[in-house]
Amino acid sequence: MSNPDSFIEEVTEEVRRDRLYALMRRYGWIAVLVVLLIVGGTAFREYRKASEMAQAQAFGDSILAALDAPTAEARIDALRAVAPEGPGSAAVLQMLIAAEEGSAGEDGEAVERLQAVANDTEVPGIYRQVASYKALTRGADILSEDERRAGLEALAVPGQPLRLLAEEQLALMEIEAGDTEAAVIRLQALAEDAEATTGLRRRARQLIVALGGEPADG
């Protein structure tokens, strides 16, 4: 019986193999297509990553080259010629131009440029807040006290990334206005804030002592 059994097994195996080959001939293109899609998708992602990296590097190189110009006016012209790649890089570029305008004594233009970035809803939130902070701190002689206070109070809302820096600026405004008691209270809170950096705590304590107050221990 062994020979007939072996023959039947061989025939069965051949039938299975023939069916498999038939299925491969009929549907094999699907497997090939899946493989091509996987390989093509991976290659496209790698190409996109490389392209984005190259664009970011080119943008950074253009910025560095522009900042190497000998004068603020020349740096402004060079920065204006740089082409940003998106809202984020455009915001950074505008803030750099504003910084150079400030160096050239063009504070009005710098504040206006920074406010434009801060009001642009297409710009990532953190860039908008940084631009607003820079505009408020640079615009002491341009913006009204009420405008500056309102802007800083908006940045000082709990949970905002520039909250502590905005609180420090509000304390300085209170000192300028002669409200030393309010300034000391605000500075004391800054000095004790767990999120404050070492430098910020040190500045707060120094101001407290300069105002005649007594900084808390720690």
- Domain extents in the chain: 32-143, 155-218
Q: 137, 169 in Cβ contact below 8 A?
A: yes
Q: What is the tens place of the pLDDT at every residue in 136-155? A: 999 888 999 999 999 999 99
Residue 201, pLDDT score: 93
Choice among 43-52, 97-106, 155-164, 178-187 with the minimum mean pLDDT: 43-52
| Helix (H), strand (E) at residue 119 | none
What pLDDT, on a 0 to 100 scale, did the predictor assign at position 133? 94
Dist CA 192 CA 167 (whole Å): 13
**Helices 87-103 and 107-118: crossing angle, nearest 10°?**
160
pTM, two decimals, is 0.71
Nearest to 131 by CA among 90, 174, 186: 90
Average pLDDT over residues 161-181: 95
Its sign, for the CA torsion 38, 41, 47, 53, is: negative
Q: Is 62 exposed, middle or buried (0-12, 13-18, 19+ CB in 10 A)?
A: middle
**191 exposure class (CB count in 10 Å sphere: 0-12, 13-18, 19+):** buried
- pLDDT, tens only, 21-59: 665 566 655 656 666 667 666 665 765 676 667 667 777
